[in-house]
A and B are shown apart, each in its own frame.
Chain A
């Protein structure tokens, strides 16, 4: 099993979610984070203009069986981008085990 973590633009969440559902990925968690990177946003506060790279992003954490990994990554890559600096990142790591809390079962079937 693989964990696929994606940090994406908040404005892209809807299309990414639809793209994930379209490839059969229905379980993930997400939370709003502040990300630092290459993109900069201009702000003005009480006469002081400043530029910050602290920008609101959305962090998705998706755990899938190995045979779903490629499709998941493609779905995100094809939907989350705008071509501008700041589109985000995807990280892939291995997951040792997965349990369904309700029944206590474990293994890849619990992700279906």
Chain B
């Protein structure tokens, strides 16, 4: 009983830390976008958090953990149903690491992050109501079904060498990342982003908020990875926190140095993206890596981030916050890294990782495309040119984020 209490307390703290990441996402996204769209970005983020939890309660949890199922699609029923003892009390033998309620809430906090990744990539030009519809379908159905294949005990977990994703480099970050890629492609770039094929800079309105956002996300990762141990096991949790932080630091420093050499400029936003890349990269195997492995994974993520941001620009996709580079590219890297570094390294594991990456790629690209394409041809997914130029805040919300500060856009 004491062990369960200790484990459960840690899990609840981690739940709160992952919840706090939504503030980090909000700050990062508004920091890297223009003042005239700030209310719109915040509105999307608050919507994703609130509807995400409701959807997870209503259908998501039982789609992701359907119990005994065919390995591809299962559903344990609408709503929550806590296991009870004969006397009607909460059955604490549910799991040694946490209660049923903690299980629901901890996993629920992860669910909304998949849509937040998309919200950054489509910022400043997506229509809000179609985006909300997309969120409901993607977070309500696609994310949990995808998650059931691995964490829910599905076919990827049942392979001879099981696919391994400790805290969600694939299940969370690349699920969001694939959708972001499809969305950005269907939506088109912001007006003025590409001039005669060359990418133009559209600076965000607040680097302090962006920096605050990334540091809050790093803090949240203590819970994201620390809680994915699914208990308060002292050896595993403390190692996981160390690998997480070392990867973040290595990712940041390497990205900073590499981008300084490549672009001859000390760019704070690349430094911040590098930290996130390191964090996403370690997420698949944080509990399997030694500190040295973690440093290498983070460092390589730092290099990938800088190259990926440039590549996304090169293929004429507009991603205002670097969501594709951070979450998709580094999510794939982190997943592959489990087969290359750490306790599970080996050819069999690497192949399983590739199978997993491929399965999620196919499922997410196709489902995101179907949802967004239907929205594109029915409601449209992009605001009008006038709305985009004058700002989504005044047109979709009739409010301004900083009514007292003079707007000075350049």
Contacts and interface: CB of A to CB of B under 8 A. Distances in A.
- Interface size range of chain A in the complex: 10 to 19
Given A43-B398, A45-B399, A32 B406 contact: yes
Contacts, number: 29
B408 interface: yes
A104 interface: no
B409 interface: yes
A39 to B, nearest CB: 12
A31 B191 CA distance: 21
Interface residues of B, number: 13
A10 B390 contact: yes
A89 to B, nearest CB: 19
A14 B191 CA distance: 10
Given A41-B394, A45-B399, A11 B389 contact: yes
A36 B409 CA distance: 19
Interface string A14-38: 1000000000000000011010000
Question: Which label, helix, strand, loop or mixed, suits the secondary structure of the A interface?
Answer: strand
Contacts of A41: 394, 398
Contacts of B399: 43-45
A42 interface: yes
A84 to B, nearest CB: 10
B234 interface: no
B406 A10 contact: no
Contact of B408 (A11, A32, A44, A45): A32
A31 B399 CA distance: 21
Given A10-B390, A11-B389, A44 B398 contact: yes
Given A43-B398, A43-B399, A44-B398, A56 B386 contact: no
Interface string A43-56: 11100000000001
Interface in B366-410: 385-386, 389-390, 394, 398-399, 406-409
A32 B398 contact: no
Contact of B398 (A10, A11, A42, A56): A42
A34 B409 CA distance: 13
Contact of A11 (B386, B406, B407): B386
Interface of A: 9-11, 14, 31-32, 34, 41-45, 56
**Shortest 10 CB-CB contacts between residues of A and residues of B:** A11-B389, A43-B398, A11-B390, A32-B408, A32-B407, A44-B398, A11-B386, A56-B407, A10-B390, A32-B406
